[in-house]
Amino acid sequence: MNTQIIDGKSIASEIKEELRTRVENLKSQGITPGLAVILVGENPASKVYVSNKKKACEYIGMKSFSYELPAETSEKEVLDLVETLNEDTHVHGILVQLPLPKHMDEQKVILKIAPNKDVDGFHPQNVGALSIGLNGLVSCTPAGVIELLKRSNIEMQGKHCVVVGRSNIVGKPVSLLLLREHATVTICHSRTRDLESVLKQADIVVAAVGIPKFVKGSMLKSNVVVIDVGINRDENGKLCGDVDFESCTNIASHITPVPGGVGPMTIAMLMNNCVLAAATQGGTSN
Q: Which residues bind ligand NDP (CB under 6 A)?
A: 141, 164-167, 169-171, 188-192, 195, 208-211, 229-232, 242, 262-263, 266
Whether 4 is catalytic is no
Q: Nearest distance from residue 158's CB to ligand NDP, in Å?
A: 25
Best CA proximity match to 279, nearest among 31, 28, 113, 90: 31
* Min separation Cβ 32 and ligand NDP, Å: 26
The count of C-alpha atoms lying within 13 angstroms of the C-alpha of 274, restricted to the half-sphere facing its C-beta, is 33
Q: Which residue number has the CB closest to ligand NDP?
A: 167
How many CA atoms are closer than 13 Å to the CA of 264, on its beta-carbon side? 18
User: Which listed residue (120, 203, 228, 242) is catalytic?
Assistant: 120
Shortest distance, CB of residue 17 to ligand NDP, whole angstroms?
A: 20
- Residue 120 is among the residues annotated as catalytic for this protein: yes
Residue ranges in the chain assigned as alpha helix (H): 8-28, 44-60, 75-87, 106-112, 124-132, 140-151, 171-180, 195-199, 245-248, 262-281
Asked if residues 250 and 1 have their Cβ atoms less than 8 Å apart, the reply is yes
Q: Say if strands 63-69 and 34-40 run parallel, antiparallel, or are unpaired.
A: parallel
Min dist. Cβ of residue 132 to ligand NDP (A): 22
* Active-site residue (options: 63, 97, 117, 213): 97
3-state secondary structure of 15: helix
Cβ nearer to ligand NDP, comparing 41 with 230:
230
Q: Letter for the amino acid at 129?
A: A
Residue 210 C-beta: closest distance to ligand NDP, Å: 4
∠ CA 177-178-180, nearest 5°, is 60
Residue 215 DSSP symbol: B
Would you say 171 or 217 has its CB closer to ligand NDP? 171
DSSP 195: H
Active-site residue flag, 53: yes
Q: Provide the b/e sequence for 121-143 (b: ≥16 CB within 10 Å).
A: bbbebbbebbeeeeebbbbbbbb
Q: Between 91 and 215, name the residue whose CB sits nearer to ligand NDP.
A: 215
Q: Which is nearer to ligand NDP, 33 or 212 (CB)?
A: 212
Minimum CB distance to ligand NDP smaller for 43 or for 167? 167
Report the catalytic residues: 53, 97, 120
